[in-house]
Structures are given as C-alpha cells and as structure tokens.
Amino acid sequence: MKPVNALPGRGRLLEIAAHIVATEGAGALTVRRLARDLGTSTMSLYSHFAGKDELIEATADEFVIRFADALRAVPVTGDALDDFVRMSNRYRSISLENRDLYRVALASGRLSLASNTPRGIRDLFEYCVVAVGRCVAEGSLTVADPRDGLMVFWTAVHGQVGLEMERVFPSPK
C-alpha cells in the first residue's frame, strides 16, 4: 500500500488550490487533483472541505483574512497621512505576496464592497474610511467625503496591483 502524506497546513493547502485555479481556471481544480498533487487521499481533503465549491470559498476567504489582518496590523500613529500611505502600501504588498489567492478572491466576489461577504470586506473598507477621515481631520487630505476619497485610493491601488500582476506596470522601488 502506498503511504499517504500528511496534509500541509491549511494556509499552504489553500495556496496550492489557489495556484491551480489562478493558472488553469476553476475547472482544473478537483478534490481528486488536489489530493494527487499533495500526495494524500481525497478522504483527508473531504474531512476538511465538503467539495470543490467549499474549497474555492475557503481559498478566497484565506486571502480576505490575510488582507484584513495585514491592513489592520498597520500601526496607528500621530501622522494620519503616513499611516494611510503605509496601509495603501500594505494593500499592494499583501496582494502581490499572495497573487493566486488574490485572483481567486477577486474572481469569487469575496472582495466585493457591494455586499458584506462572510469575512467582512465591507467592515475593512469602513476601517479604511476612518483612516481617510483622520487625514481629512488633520488637513493632509482634502475630500468632501472620506468614503468617496477612499474609493479613489482603493481603486488606484487595486489598479496598480492588477497592472503589476500582469507585468504591464513596473513595480515601484
């Protein structure tokens, strides 16, 4: 009987699943394929995920969790604009560090601001609105509505990430 490898940590397993989806499409991901790639049994995966759809949702949620944790981990100091710039830089870096997870989360709708996904992106957006509001209050940004101002910045950073991922835009140094 062929030995079965132990599953890697959940985060690594989801990274592997995300890589398959991001590079070959959702149709290429099956529990059987993932088990084969990991050198484990399908039963070991089914003990964690009911099936492919749940696996893709978990993969998208993994990015959302990392993304929210990364932005919230930026320290709040007495310089609101510097804090906000560091948050924007962290948005970019966490997305580029987790390219495949980011792509799956984006394609899955888990990064939607239109609805509050299970992992709370809308709550994270509101957290960032407060950061822009601090900049307005200290006079370092002039926008009538911090929410509208954040939408402009959020869109710009998201666009930069997309262009860098497609190697259309050089990464800033």
What share of the chain has pLDDT > 70, as a percent? 89
Band the pLDDT of 117: cuts 50, 70, 90: low
Band the pLDDT of 50: cuts 50, 70, 90: confident
Q: State residue 106's pLDDT score.
A: 87
Rounded to an integer, what is the distance from CA 24 to the centroid of its chain?
19
Going by C-alpha positions, the residue among 154, 121, 149 that lies closest to residue 135 is: 149
What is the rounded end-to-end Cα distance, in angstroms, of the chain? 52
pLDDT exceeds cutoff 80 at 1: no
Q: State residue 115's pLDDT score.
A: 63
Please tell me the distance from the alpha carbon of residue 78 to that of residue 35, in angstroms, as a whole number.
Answer: 49
Please name the residues in contact with 109: beta carbons below 8 A apart, sequence gap of 6 or more.
117
Q: Are the C-beta atoms of 47 and 12 separated by less than 8 Å? A: no
Please tell me the distance from the alpha carbon of residue 131 to that of residue 83, in angstroms, as a whole number.
Answer: 8
Q: Structure pTM?
A: 0.84
Q: State residue 140's pLDDT score.
A: 96
* Average pLDDT, rounded, for the chain: 87
Average pLDDT over residues 94-119: 82
Q: State residue 35's pLDDT score.
A: 87
